[in-house]
Amino acid sequence: MKVIILGTNGWYDSKTGNTICTLIETDNFYLIFDAGNGLYKLDQHIKNNKKPIYLFLSHFHLDHIEGLHILSKFHFKQEIHIYGQVGTKNHLNKIINSPYTVSLNKLPFKVDVQELTEGKHEIPFKVECKFLVHSSPCLGYRIETDNKIITYCTDTGICQQAMDLAKDADLLITECSFKISQKNEEWPHLNPEDAARIATESGAEKLILTHFDPNIYRSLDERTEIKEKMKDKFKNIIIAYDDMEIVF
């Protein structure tokens, strides 16, 4: 299984990276978590036109969906299956449509949009989703495939839902908008200590930090400092940067 980090910024693109997008290649399909501007790199990595593509959207803040406007540049032979919370079809039909961009039904490949309620689903792999703690309804995901558990929780404060989704996960991908000790109760996001706490208490094996606020983390060096400072909190931690590839 390979994890390819296409975008690591929250909010906006900067010299530190594109807005958030993560690609995972499994034995039988491609998984994509969120569709920030990093999505434009997708065709650099999707080479097998027989593997289905599944895209999971956490919520509708623009830094998580803005990359969808360039779908028309791709010429995939397989269908893209987009999953999100109830209301996804309505929101995407408004934004990914004329006059803003090419509508989903006019792309050079088929796109299927499905809406998920909280709970467990089979599509065809096992997926569990729960609403996290954020300023806008935001889904976290737990996916079981290739005998591994992958959990994706971004744009959230520390919460039991994230703990539940990450329970015994082989890989937890979560956000790190704030620096150590920073908090904002009116704008729920995680700092490194919060992310490490979720990983530790849930029993996750590996932790990837992404979705860095570029107004707070103005350089990649400021990100890499986290690992040294957090080594006593959680050892198996990866600080994501754009175009990083991880095999596990």
The pLDDT value recorded for residue 168 is 98
pTM of the predicted model as reported, rounded to 2 decimal places: 0.98
The pLDDT value recorded for residue 70 is 97
CATH number of 2-247: 3.60.15.10
Q: Which is it for the CA torsion 118, 194, 59, 80, positive or negative?
A: negative
Q: What is the pLDDT of residues 29-68, one digit of tens each?
A: 999 999 999 999 999 999 999 999 999 999 999 999 999 9
Across the range 118-126, mean pLDDT stands at 97
The pLDDT value recorded for residue 68 is 98
Does residue 186 have a pLDDT over 90? no
Q: What is the pLDDT of residues 71-100, one digit of tens each?
A: 999 999 999 999 999 999 999 999 999 999
The pLDDT value recorded for residue 27 is 95
Confidence bin at 167 (pLDDT 50/70/90): very high
Across the range 225-237, mean pLDDT stands at 93
Q: Give residue limits of the domains in the chain.
A: 2-247
Across the range 215-244, mean pLDDT stands at 96
Does residue 175 have a pLDDT over 90? yes
The pLDDT value recorded for residue 52 is 97
Residue-averaged pLDDT of the chain: 97
Share of the chain above pLDDT 70, in %: 100
The pLDDT value recorded for residue 126 is 98
